[in-house]
Structure 1
Amino acid sequence: MSVEFVFWVVVLARFTLPLLIPLFPLPAIIACLLLDGVDQTIFQTFGYDPPNYQSYDKAMDVFYLSIAYLASLRNWTNPGAVKISRFLFFYRQIGVVLFELTGLRFLLLVFPNTFEYFFIAYEGVRTRRNPMRYGFRFWVKVAAGIWIFVKLPQEYWIHIAQLDLTDTIRDVPWFLPTLVVAVLALLAVVFFFVRPRLSPADWTWRFRADPLPEGIDDARERAAYQAAHRKVFDLATLEKVFLIGLISVIFGEVLPGVESNNLELFLGIAGFVVINSALGLWAAKRGYSWNSVAVSFGIVFATNVVLVVLADVLLSRGPGRLDLTDALFFVLLFSILTTLYDRYRPIADYRLAAAARTEAER
C-alpha cells in the first residue's frame, strides 16, 4: 500500500466524515475527534511525515467544527445554548486564523477549542434528556467548566509543551497506568455519585438528530421563511461571510497554489457570499426549493463554478492563470458550507422566534 494512497484515504475520511454530524451529531463528532487524534500516528506508521502538518491539521479541524456549528443551528432547541455555541465557535476561528498568520502557538491557548467539547456535552445531554430543561446559566457553567478544567490543560499540553499522547505513553512508563487509574476514578465518580443524583431521563437513547419543527421541516417552508425574513445584506449574510471567509483564509495558508494574500482571499469570498445570498433570496421569493440536500448542493456548486469562470474572464487574468485544482477546492468548500448554512440558519431563526413568542405569552 503506497504512502500517497494512505494519505489521501485519511484526508478524504477527514473531509467526508463530518458531513454525518448534522444527522448523527454525537457519534459523528466523536469519530471525527478520534480520527483527528490518530491521523498523524497513521502517517508515521507508514513512514510519512506530512509537511506543514500543524496547518493541515488545524484546517481539517476547522472544517469539521464548522459542520458541527451548522449542525447546532439545525438541531439545537435551546436558544441559550445556540448563542454560547456561536460565541465559542467564532472565538476559536479567530484564534486559529491569528495562529496561521503569526505562527504564535500561545494563541491556541488564549483561544481554546471549547466549542468542540461544548457541542459534545450538549449532545450528550440530549441523548437522554430534553436540553430545554436547562437554562442559560447552566450552559454557561458547562462552557466555563470545559474551558478552564479541560481545554486549557489540553491546549497547553498539545501546543505549548508540544507533547504527543502516544509518544508520552511510549517514553514514560508510569504515564499509561496513571491515565487508566484517573479515567477509572472519573467513571466511578460519575457512576456512584453523579448518576444517582440525576433527574429521570426524558427518553431512551437518542443518537440520531431529532425531527425538525413541523413549521419549517420542508424546503418550501424554509424558502418562504427566507423570503419573508431575509435580506441580501443582513446579520445572516454577515455571519456567513465570517464563517466561510475565515475557514477559506485558513485553507489558503495550507494550499500551495494560492497566490492571493489573505485579505484578497477573504474579500473575494465575501463577494461570492453576497452574490450567493442574492441568488438564494431571488430563488426563495420565486418559490424555488429542493428537499434533497444533494440536489441543492449540485445547483449551488454548478452556479459557483460558472461564477468563478466568469470572474476569471472578466478580470482578464489570461488563459492558464487560474489554478484549477485550488479553484475547484474552494468552490467545493464554499458550496458545502453555503448549502448547509442556507438550509439550517432558517431553522435556528424559526426556533428563536417561537421561543420569543412563548416567552411573551407567559
Structure 2
Amino acid sequence: MSVEVVFWCVVLARFALPLLIPVFPLPAIIACPLLDGVDQTIFQTFGYDPPNYQSYDKAMDVFYLSIAYLATLRNWTNHGAVRIGRFLFFFRQVGVVAFELSGARLLLLLFPNTFEYFFIAYEGVRTRRNPLRYAFRFWVLVAAAIWIFVKLPQEYWIHIAQLDLTDTIRDVPWFLPALVVAVLVLLAVVYFVIRPRLSPADWTWRFRADPLPEGIDDARQRAAYQAAHRKVLDTTTLEKTFLIGLISVIYGEVLPGVESNNLQLFLGIAVFLVINAALGLWAAKRGYSWNSVVVSFGIVFATNVVLVVLADVLLSRGPGRLHLTDALFFVLLFSVLTTLYDRYRPIADYRVAASARSEAER
C-alpha cells in the first residue's frame, strides 16, 4: 500500500468518524481522540511524514468537536445541559481563535476545552440514567469539576509546560508508578464510594442516541416548524454564523494556501449563511424536505458550489480570493455543518417549547 493511500485513508477516517457522533455519541466521541492519538504512529510505521499535517490535525480536532456540539442539539433532552454545553463550546472556540491570531499559549489555559469532557460525562450518565433526573445545578457542578480538576491541569501540562507524556515517563522514574497509583485510587473511589451511592439505573446500557421526539422526527415536521418559527435574520442564523464563522477563521489560520484575511473570511461565510438561510426558509415554506441527510447535504453542497462559482466570477479581480482547492474545502465544511445544524436546531427548540408547555399545564 502506498504512503499516499495510507495518508488519505487516515484523513478520510478522521473526517468520517465524527459523523457517527450524532448516532453513537459516547463510542464515537471517545474514538475520535483515540484515532487522533495513533495517526502519527500509523504514518511513522509506513515511514511517511505528511507535510503540513499538524495544521490539518488541528483543523480536524475542531471539526469533531463541532459535530459533537451539533449532536447536543439533536440528542440532549436536558435543556440546562444544552445551555452549559453551548457556553463551553463557544467559550473554547473564542479562545482557539484568539490563540491562532496571537500565538499566546496562555489563552489555551484560560479557555480550556471543557466541552469535550462535559459531553462525555453527559453521555456517560445517559447510558444508564435519564438526564432529566438531574437539575441544572448538578450539570454546573459537573462542568466546574471537569474545568478545575481535569482540564486546567491538562491544558497547563500540554500548552504551558509543553510536556509530553511519553517523554516524562521515560525521563522521570517515579512518574509512571505515581500515575498508576493515582488511577487505581480514582477507580477505588468510584467503585467503593460513588457507586454504592448511585440511584438505581433507569435502563440497560444505551450507546445509541435516543429516538427523536415524535412531533419533529420527520423532515416535513422540521420544515413546518422552521416555516412557522424562523426568519432569515434571527438568533438561529446568528448562532450559526458564529459557529461556522469561528471555525472557518480557525481553519483559515491553520491551513496553508488561504489568502483571505480573517475578517474577509468571516464576512464571506456570514454572507453565504444568510443566503443559505433565505433559501432554506423559502424551501421550508413551500414544503420541500428530505428525510435523507445525504440528499439534504448533496442539495446544500451543490447550491453552495454554484454560489462560490458565481462569487468567483463576480470577484475575479478583487482581493482576498481563495484558491480553488481551499474554496472547495470550505464549501464542503460549510455544507456539512449547515446541513446538520439546520436539521438539529429545530429539534432542540421543539424540546424547549414542549417543556415550557408542560410546565404551563401543571
Q: Paired residue for 1:300?
A: 300
* Structure 1 position 138, deviation (Å): 0.4
Counterparts of 1:39 and 1:260, CA distance in 2: 30
Which whole-Å deviations, capped at 9, do the CAs of 1:9-29 have from their partners, x for residues lacking one?
322221111000000000000
Q: Give the stretch that moved more between structures: 119-128 or 183-192.
A: 183-192
Counterparts of 2:129 and 2:153, CA distance in 1: 29
Counterparts of 1:164 and 1:41, CA distance in 2: 15
Q: Give the stretch that moved more between structures: 222-231 or 10-19.
A: 10-19
User: Which ranges in structure 1 are unaligned for 5 or more consecutive residues?
Assistant: none
* Structure 1 position 258, deviation (Å): 1.0
Q: Paired residue for 2:202?
A: 202
**Superposition CA RMSD, Å:** 1.6
* Structure 1 position 55, deviation (Å): 4.1
Q: Paired residue for 1:135?
A: 135
Counterparts of 1:111 and 1:57, CA distance in 2: 19
Counterparts of 1:45 and 1:161, CA distance in 2: 29
Which whole-Å deviations, capped at 9, do the CAs of 1:86-127 have from their partners, x for residues lacking one?
000000000001111111111100000000000000000000
Indicate conservation of the 8 Å contact 1:233/1:274, yes or no.
yes
- Secondary structure at the counterpart of residue 288 of structure 2: coil
- Give 4+ residue runs of structure 1 displaced > 6 Å after superposition: none
Aligned-partner residue type, residue 230 of structure 2: R
Q: Paired residue for 2:35?
A: 35
* Structure 1 position 187, deviation (Å): 1.1
* Structure 1 position 2, deviation (Å): 4.6
Over 3 Å counting, the alpha-carbon distance change for 1:305 and 1:29 in structure 2 is: same
Which whole-Å deviations, capped at 9, do the CAs of 1:161-187 have from their partners, x for residues lacking one?
111222223333332232222212211
Q: Paired residue for 2:278?
A: 278
Counterparts of 2:211 and 2:4, CA distance in 1: 41
TM-score by length of 2: 0.95
Indicate conservation of the 8 Å contact 1:100/1:250, yes or no.
yes
TM-score by length of 1: 0.95
- Secondary structure at the counterpart of residue 290 of structure 1: coil
Indicate conservation of the 8 Å contact 1:58/1:96, yes or no.
no
Which whole-Å deviations, capped at 9, do the CAs of 1:167-222 have from their partners, x for residues lacking one?
22333333223222221221111111111110000000000000000000000000
1:238-317 matched pairs, under 5 angstroms:
238-317=238-317
Counterparts of 1:151 and 1:51, CA distance in 2: 30
Counterparts of 1:74 and 1:207, CA distance in 2: 15
Q: Paired residue for 1:120?
A: 120
- Secondary structure at the counterpart of residue 208 of structure 2: coil
* Structure 1 position 48, deviation (Å): 4.7
- Secondary structure at the counterpart of residue 290 of structure 2: coil
- Secondary structure at the counterpart of residue 233 of structure 2: coil
